[in-house]
Structures are given as C-alpha cells and as structure tokens.
Chains A and B, each alone.
Chain A
Amino acid sequence: MSSRKSLIKIKPKSYKDGEIVKVSFMVMHPMETGMRKDKKTKEVIPAKYINSVKFDYNGKVITTMNVWESLSTNPVFTTYMKVNGAGKLSVTFSDSTGEVHEKSIKIKPKG
C-alpha cells in the first residue's frame, strides 16, 4: 500500500443522516501519459497513471471508475454520496504500474 499524499473532503463538514453530501478525493499522482520525452535524455518517460478508483461506504461499493491517462496530474475525483449512518468511507485506487493506495475517513452524521 503506497503512502501517497491524498485527501478526502466532505462538503458540508457538518451533515445529518440522510443528507446528500459532496465527496472529493484528491491525490498527488503524476498521471504520466507515456507520451512525454525527458528533455535531457530524450527517452520516453514511462506511463504511470491511475486506472481504477473505488469508493466504499460501510463495506458497500458505491462508486467505481475506470480512468485513463487524460486526467490531469494530481487528479481530483468529485461526486455525491447519501449519508446513511455513521461509519467509514474508503477510497482505493490502483495505477498502471500496479501501485495501490487507500485512504479512509469517518462518516459522522449529526442528528
């Protein structure tokens, strides 16, 4: 499991059970297309990009994504989620070189 810098943001920060909140997952990742050449060595910089993302909420998969190299460096993935009880939201991604990364946060509805 990689130790990349990543972040999950929930908007609004304070939410009730049943509310639909915005979820953003951001990660520092090169999203290297494999089409660039190193200016000095003239060699092609090998491709390395996130190709799969999964959102789990309390053990249930709520969103999955197939990703290609056209996403910007340090990608952000934003969607919505219906709050359904306290628990854990986990985001897992794997990339084209086999790297796997997971980030989770606690879901704590107020009221």
Chain B
Amino acid sequence: MLFQQNKDKQMQRRDFFKQLGAVAAVAAITPAISFADEAKKLTGPNEFSYKAAVDAITGGKGAEESSKINLKVPEIAENGAVVPITVEVESPMTDNDYVKSIHILATKNANTRCIDVHLTPANGKAMFATRIKLGGTQDVATVVALSDGTFLTATQNVKVTIGGCG
C-alpha cells in the first residue's frame, strides 16, 4: 500500500513538474506582443472551413489542380504575422479569356478566407500579392475562377515558426 502511495505521489509530482515545464515553455516563447494568443485562436476550429470556402467560391463545383497557377509563398515563415504570398496565373486577360478572381485561403486559420480579388481585363496580367497572417503551420491554397466558368487551384504547405529562440 505504501509503495502504491509513493507511486501516486511520484506521479503527482511528475505531473506538477510537467505542467510547470509547459507553462515555463510557453512563457519563454510568448513574445511581448500578444501574437501568440492570436495565433492560438487562429488555429482553432474553423469558423469558415476550407471545404466550405471552396464550395462557396466554386458553387460546389470544386477546383482542379493546375500548373497554370504560380503560387509563391515561403516554405518556412519565420513570422506567422507577415507571410508574403503571390499568386500569378497564365492568362491572356482579354475580354473573352481572363481570370475573374483569385482567392486566397489559409486552410487552418479560424477563418480560412483571407481575400477574394476580382480582376478585369484592364488589369492586363493575372497577379495578386499581399501579406497574410498564419496561425500555425498549414497548407495555404489559392482558388482561381476563369471567365469560362472553370476553377483552378494550387496549394503549398507553410511551416510557421512562432516566436522561438532564433
């Protein structure tokens, strides 16, 4: 019985130190700004999930993977608050054949949808660039709507190192 009690005490002590360690670890990596808090929230259950977003954009049709899309986003993002992203699509951008819209989706953010860009032939080239916030490592996707009613897509995984010591 004593042995069991000792074992329980050991387990309790171990758990206590585990928890202390976890808190210390979080405290060590949480930067002065509350981005870490924001980041945790951003990787919660999706308010607007990836599948729902793609359905909403494509009217349920879905999008086809295409090499016509050049999705540029870093494989490793040092700062999840400012991740540069560029989407370029091969297109003549004429009245009869142009990219109608470029959509950017962060598949694991609390809100998957980042931006919809509605282009016109007056843009001359199908391209859009911005910087987005990523709550954590995830796939970043783009869905592109063409004037002929079809939808293309491309995705890339981005590893996000939040805070950290280097």
Contact = CB atoms under 8 A, between A and B. Distances in A.
Tell me the interface secondary structure of chain A in the complex. Answer: strand
Interface in B110-138: 110-111, 113-125, 127-134
Contact of A57 (B86, B122, B129, B134): B122
A62 B122 contact: yes
A9 interface: no
Contacts of A39: 34
A79 interface: yes
A67 B115 contact: yes
A79 B119 contact: yes
Contacts of A37: 34, 37
A70 B122 contact: no
B41 interface: yes
The range of chain A's interface size is: 20 to 34
A110 interface: no
Interface in A57-78: 57, 60-73, 75-78
A20 B93 CA distance: 11
Contacts of B113: 68, 70
Interface residues of B, number: 34
The winner among B37, B106, B117 for most chain A CB atoms within 10 A is: B117
Given A35-B41, A62-B123, A71 B132 contact: yes
A72 B123 contact: no
A52 to B, nearest CB: 10
Given A72-B81, A76-B130, A78-B129, A63 B123 contact: yes
Nearest to A60: B122
Given A71-B133, A78-B130, A79-B128, A36 B37 contact: yes
B11 interface: no
Contacts of A10: none
A-B pairs, top 4 by smallest CB distance, nearest first, are A20-B124, A82-B124, A80-B125, A72-B131
Interface of A: 20, 31, 33, 35-39, 57, 60-73, 75-82, 84
7 contacts: A39-B34, A57-B122, A61-B120, A65-B118, A68-B115, A70-B134, A78-B130
Given A36-B41, A77-B128, 6 more contacts: A33-B42, A62-B123, A68-B111, A70-B111, A70-B132, A76-B129
Interface of B: 34, 37-38, 41-42, 81-83, 86, 106, 109-111, 113-125, 127-134
